Amino acid sequence: MEGKMKALRMYAPNDFRIEEIPIPDIREDEILIKVEACGICAGDVKTLHGGIRVWGTTPENRYIEAPITGGHEFVGRVVEFGSKVNGIKLGDRMVSEQIVPCGECRFCREGNYSMCHRHYIYGFKQETPGGFAEYMKFHHSGIHHIIPEGMSAWEATLIEPLACAMHAVDRAKIGHSDIVVIGGLGAIGLGMVSAARKLEPKMIIGLDLRRKRLELAKQYGADLVMNPMDMDVVEEIKKLTEGYGCDVYIEASGSEKSVKQGMGAIRFQGRYVQFGVFPEEITVDWNDIGDGKEIDIYGAHLAPYCYRPVIHGIMNGSIHTEGLMTHTYRLEDWKEAFETAEKNPDALKVMLVP
């Protein structure tokens, strides 16, 4: 498809620009979509402000290939596809998983594609521009999903963060007798509550500093919620567990205090899952992991094999979405949108509409 389109381009920290650029050309094995909406991730906000995990400390360790069109929480309709693409038709609504695996490295061959050694994420590499634009291409190595017509655009932009939430819960290996604590009840933390509820553990406890998020967590399936500003949550969790502590702690806030809180709250041989991303290095007492409690530590990264069950869960109501999409802006109003996502205490998810 020939022509120009508007796109939000990332040049450098604090240098994002709306520009008019060519509509992407596609190969015979690629798909072009007209973007319906694209969510703003907390990682996008950190990228705007020069997050070191994206911009690095030197050109050699920089992840981003700027200038590039950002956005990895997108949904759109198919307007063109190559001759080697099968199983879709013009007008289909589709999403593509945020990682674009190479299919050839050790991790891809083992089926662990979210750890692909090449590790391209939409919106960061020249080969994989993202969804902050009127059009975008689905890369030939991407993992694509058709979504139902009955799913709204705002629900579809939640597929990516909710799939990340589901993967973190999967990593926790939750059983029916477990007491599960989720620290941080943003959109992904709330998604973790919803995903964990499907597994029917003994108890789910949600922790956050904001009353609205605590109320939503109860609607999503938390048995109990606590505000760390109002009480000593470690002490309260121990009171609920005969002094032992919780079986599972999932860290979803990216806060050093939350990590230390989790280490204090978790029982001997408990399971700790780290999902939240920290703006800088943090310090914890690693003796708790080994000599202290012999804790199992798990990381959670992206959303392998979780898009399809999340799509089904949204449609059948077992994965909650109500109240998650709090703000919508036009693409041209991206500055206000990013400021809302960063600073508005009532914001959970914010999306841009081209």
Residue 221 reports pLDDT greater than 80: yes
Can you tell me the mean pLDDT for 113-134? 97
Are residue 210 and residue 133 in the same domain, yes or no? no
Q: Are 145 and 205 within one domain? A: no
Q: Where is average pLDDT lowest: 48-52, 80-84, 99-103, 194-198?
A: 48-52
Domain with 228 in it: 165-299
What's the CATH number where 284 sits?
3.40.50.720
Q: Is residue 26 part of a domain?
A: yes
In-domain check, residue 316: no
Q: Distance between CA 103 and CA 221 in Å, rounded? A: 37
- 64/126 Cα distance (integer angstroms): 9
Q: What is the pLDDT confidence band of residue 1, given thresholds at 50, 70 and 90?
A: confident
Residue 278 pLDDT: 87
| Co-location of 131 and 190 in the same domain | no
Write the CB contacts of 10 (distance below 8 Å, at least 6 apart in sequence).
16, 47, 48, 64, 66, 67, 68, 69, 70
Q: State the average pLDDT for the chain.
A: 97
Pairing type for strands 203-207 and 179-183 reads parallel
Are both 12 and 93 inside the same structural domain?
A: yes
Whether residue 113 sits in one domain with residue 220: no
Does 186 share its domain with 108?
no
**Spatial separation of the C-alpha atoms in residues 346 and 336, rounded to whole Å:** 15
The reply to whether 173 and 281 lie within a common domain is yes
The answer to whether 193 touches 217, Cβ cutoff 8 Å, is yes
Residue 44, domain member (yes or no): yes
Give counts: helices (H), strands (E), the chain.
11, 18
Whether 156 has a pLDDT exceeding 80, the answer reads: yes
Q: Which of 201, 194, 193, 195 is nearest to 175 (CA)?
A: 201
Closest CA to 16 of 350, 349, 335: 335
Residue 219, domain member (yes or no): yes
Based on the number of CB atoms within 10 Å of its own CB, is 260 exposed (0-12), middle (13-18) or buried (19 or more)? Answer: middle
Q: Are residues 46 and 112 in the same domain?
A: yes
Helix (H, G, I), strand (E, B) or coil at 265: helix
Do 173 and 268 reside in the same domain of the chain?
A: yes
| In the block, residue with structure tokens 């240098």 | 15
* β-pair type (68-69, 4-12): antiparallel
Q: Please tell me the predicted confidence (pLDDT) of residue 280.
A: 81
Q: Is the per-residue pLDDT at 66 higher than 80?
A: yes
151 falls in which pLDDT band (50, 70, 90)?
very high
Q: How many domains does the chain have?
A: 2
Q: Which two tokens stand for residue 4?
A: 């120009």
Tokens (6 digits) for 2: 């020939």
List pLDDT tens digits, range 194-213: 999 999 999 999 999 999 99
Q: What is the pLDDT of residue 279?
A: 77
| 314 within domain boundaries | no
Note whether 28 and 119 are same-domain residues.
yes
pLDDT of residue 175: 98
Residue 255, pLDDT score: 94
Cα separation values, 296 from 21, 245, 249, 267, Å? 48, 14, 11, 11
- Are 102 and 231 contained in the same domain? no
Q: Could you tell me what percent of the chain has a pLDDT over 70?
A: 100
Mean pLDDT score, 30-45 = 97
The mean pLDDT of 12-39, rounded to a whole number, is 98
The domain that contains 51 carries what CATH number?
A: 3.90.180.10
Asked whether residue 309 is domain-assigned, the answer is no
222 pLDDT band, cuts 50/70/90, is very high
The verdict on 149 and 211 lying in the same domain is: no
- What is the pLDDT at residue 128? 98
306 in a domain, yes or no?
no
pLDDT tens column, 247-299: 999 999 999 999 999 999 999 999 999 999 987 889 999 898 999 999 999 99
